[in-house]
Amino acid sequence: MLTKIGDEFVEAVAIVSGGASDEMGVPWHSFLTVAGNGTGAYNHNGDYSTTAAEVFYQAPAKYVIHTVFATIADASAMNQVDYGAIAGGLTNGVTLWIMKQGVEIPLLGGLVIKNNQQWLNVTPDALLTNFPGVPQSFIPVFRLTEGYGSPLVLNPGERFIVKLHDDFTGLVDHTFTLRGTLY
């Protein structure tokens, strides 16, 4: 069955109850991109040290976000004071925001994340993988309902934003992802 979401048609894989209402939604996985609609490049391992970048997802409909995670992969071994394996961490850092009713609101108490350890300061739920050889992937996960008591709800036109203002070209992968239910 095809469902129209915004200007696109998507195939609904599963339907879930909207909870207290009779709304029906679809499981929705979205990458943060410069375009803001999940299309285009979603690996943000570029050099944003001169010109800051915002990657975001703008909800085309009500979006109930249950999980937020970052994937930081590097071809070298990582430690606590690095970002990925960028030695010594970042200068300006990574910040997470939401835009509700046209107002940007900082998440994580406004924390600016400059190294791997700071991800662990805000979520104990993180995975560090070691594939054969030296490459590693670090994945901090925010399970919103479990960790904060409720999911994050974006209404149509509202955004989840990550701001970047450093050189990430040493990373293999630098991706930000949202998972939830789109109504």
Which CATH number fits the domain that encloses residue 162? 2.60.120
- Model pLDDT for residues 80-104, shown as the tens digit of each residue: 999 999 999 999 999 999 999 999 9
Domain that includes residue 121, residue range:
2-182
Q: How many domains does the chain have?
A: 1
CB-CB contact of 37 with 58 (8 Å):
yes
- Model pLDDT for residues 12-67, shown as the tens digit of each residue: 444 444 444 557 899 999 999 999 999 999 999 999 999 999 999 999 999 999 99
Q: What is the pLDDT of residue 6?
A: 56
Q: What is the pTM of this model?
A: 0.85
CB-CB contact of 74 with 170 (8 Å):
yes
